[in-house]
Amino acid sequence: MTKIKVNGALLAYNEVGSGSPVLLLHAGIADRRMWREQVDALVTRHRVITLDLRGYGESELPATAFAHHDDVAGLLDALNLDSAALIGCSFGGAVAIDTALAHPDRVSALALLGAAVSGHDWSEQTNDLWETLVGDLDPEDFAATAAGEVRFWVVGPEREPADVDPQLIAFATAMDERALAAELALSAVDVAELDPPAIGRLGELRMPVLTGAGAADVPDIRKLADRIAAEAPRATRLPDIPDAAHLLPLERPTPVNTALLDFLPH
């Protein structure tokens, strides 16, 4: 692990390999460890960088205003990279899209796995599913909140916890407890959003885009993958990956890695 100063914050990252650069951006319920199944596959062809976004994992959170998408561009500056392919899952996918819109010359390609999109309003169906599966939680009870979020996102609404590898559930829960502490701290900092948000600007994504989701993920996420594919001019929709929910790179690494290697520029 290395730390580097980016826009006034020390950000933690790992870097291995050589070749065309690829930067992986983690889900909001995780940190850079979620990419452990992708690094060895991608390093055969790429310079692979896994980042803890500001406040998450081992990255710092100074009490100053910032934007995640500007941090991504700042990391590329700090590493003397003109551009990189961005791979993002969930919230990391939203950050990747925002970076591609705010700094289009810095992003050579986008691979979006279960990606959120800034400005998207969750549907009533998704809100109802949350109430049914999780209900009200005390945001300061990290253990209970992590258990609820893992039930909703990692297991998914169409499966039962017994259907999912218990080691995956344990790892995801540990990452999420740490991420919840990060989100509580981030709530006290001025985090700038992309303005206007990405949801109405997907047609501006001119680089190659791969978008996909787990077949067991919440319906809104699968619909967002459809929308990205329909509106981004150079987008390809990966078929939903069977028996995978929101952390599909961890849960089903083989089809994810195959798709990424087929898509990413050499």
Q: Which two tokens stand for residue 263?
A: 């898509």
What are the domain boundaries of the chain?
2-121+189-263, 124-184
Summarize pLDDT for 168-213 with one digit per residue, the tens. 999 999 999 899 888 888 888 999 999 999 999 999 999 999 999 9
Pairwise CA distance, residues 234 & 212, whole Å: 14
Per-residue pLDDT tens digits for 80-98: 999 999 999 999 999 999 9
Whether 138 has a pLDDT exceeding 80, the answer reads no
What b/e sequence results for 42-74 when a residue is b if at least 16 CB atoms lie within 10 Å of its CB, and e otherwise?
Answer: bbebbbbbbbbbbbbbebebeeeebbbbbbbbb
CA–CA distance, 247 with 178 (Å, rounded to integer):
16
What confidence tens digit (pLDDT) does each residue in 23-61 have?
999 999 999 999 999 999 999 999 999 999 999 999 999
- pLDDT tens, position by position, 249-258: 999 999 999 9
Asked whether the predicted pLDDT for residue 113 surpasses 90, the reply is: yes
pTM exceeds cut of 0.85: yes
In the predicted model, what is the mean pLDDT of the chain?
Answer: 94
* Block residue for tokens 């969750």: 122
CATH code matching the domain that covers 2-121+189-263, chosen among 3.40.50.261, 3.40.50.1820, 3.30.830.10, 3.60.15.10: 3.40.50.1820
Pairwise CA distance, residues 88 & 111, whole Å: 6
Question: What pLDDT sits at residue 128?
Answer: 84
Q: Are 143 and 149 in contact (CB under 8 A)?
A: no
